[in-house]
């Protein structure tokens, strides 16, 4: 039986990331027998509140990838306006192409089949450095980020950064 095109593409992207790692994250399979479920470790970007943290997330790819985007969920707790309280990441690049159900995105900002795991992860790292407060998935984090960025928001992020170091080592 031949492997689906999506599996071949994911295998190729994983091999490329292993051969030529990208600064800021690492990626691998959760289960060696399932190319559609990946685990990524994201290093908190330098000069941000997330610096020093190591955040674990899962990418779940649909069988018709790359026509549809994967879903991304942080496993490590993270306090961020664009990550809901259950860990689901809400950024334009992971939104389905077509109709804008959120009312604020340009079509070119949403998912396109040319995107790769690398472009997704670069977008997520950029999101950590520069949250989009106009379209929050976590309204409480967005409010704190706007109103008390260097107070309560910073304290909550710092707690997540410290906790991330203990969770990754376990």
Tens-digit pLDDT profile for residues 7-51: 999 999 999 999 999 999 999 999 999 999 999 999 999 999 999
Q: Is the model's pTM score more than 0.75? A: yes
Which residues constitute the domain of residue 157? 5-169
Contacting residues for 109 by C-beta, under 8 A, at least 6 apart = 92, 93
In whole angstroms, give the CA distance from residue 45 to residue 123: 12
- DSSP bridge partners of 83: 89
Phi/psi at 43 (5° precision): -85, 130
Place of tokens 């170091």: 165
Domain containing 53 — which CATH number? Answer: 3.10.110.10
pLDDT at residue number 169: 52
Higher-confidence residue: 80 or 99?
80
Q: Tell me which residues are annotated as active site.
A: 90
Structural domain total, the chain: 1
Q: How would you label 97-112 residue by residue, b for 16+ Cβ within 10 Å and e otherwise? A: eeeeeeeeeeeeebbe
Contact assessment for residue 65 and residue 82, using Cβ atoms and an 8 Å cutoff: no
pLDDT at residue number 108: 66
Reported as half-sphere exposure (CB side, CA atoms, 13 A), residue 154 has a value of 7
In whole angstroms, give the CA distance from residue 29 to residue 32: 6
Sign of the alpha-carbon dihedral angle for 20, 77, 52, 89: positive
């Amino acid at each position: 039986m031949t492997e689906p095109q999506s599996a071949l593409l994911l295998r190729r992207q994983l091999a490329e990331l292993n051969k030529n790692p990208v600064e800021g994250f690492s990626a691998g399979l959760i289960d060696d027998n399932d190319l559609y479920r990946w685990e990524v470790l994201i290093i908190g970007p330098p000069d941000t509140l997330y610096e020093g943290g190591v955040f674990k997330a899962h990418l779940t790819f649909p069988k018709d990838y790359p026509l549809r985007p994967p879903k991304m969920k942080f496993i490590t707790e993270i306090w961020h306006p664009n990550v809901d309280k259950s860990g689901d990441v809400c950024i334009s690049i992971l939104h389905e192409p077509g109709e804008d159900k959120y009312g604020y995105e340009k079509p070119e900002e949403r998912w396109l089949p040319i995107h790769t795991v690398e472009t997704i992860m670069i977008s997520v790292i950029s999101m950590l450095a520069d949250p989009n407060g106009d379209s929050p998935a976590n309204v409480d984090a967005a409010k704190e980020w706007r109103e008390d960025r260097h107070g309560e928001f910073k304290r909550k992020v710092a707690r997540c950064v410290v906790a991330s170091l203990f969770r990754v080592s376990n």
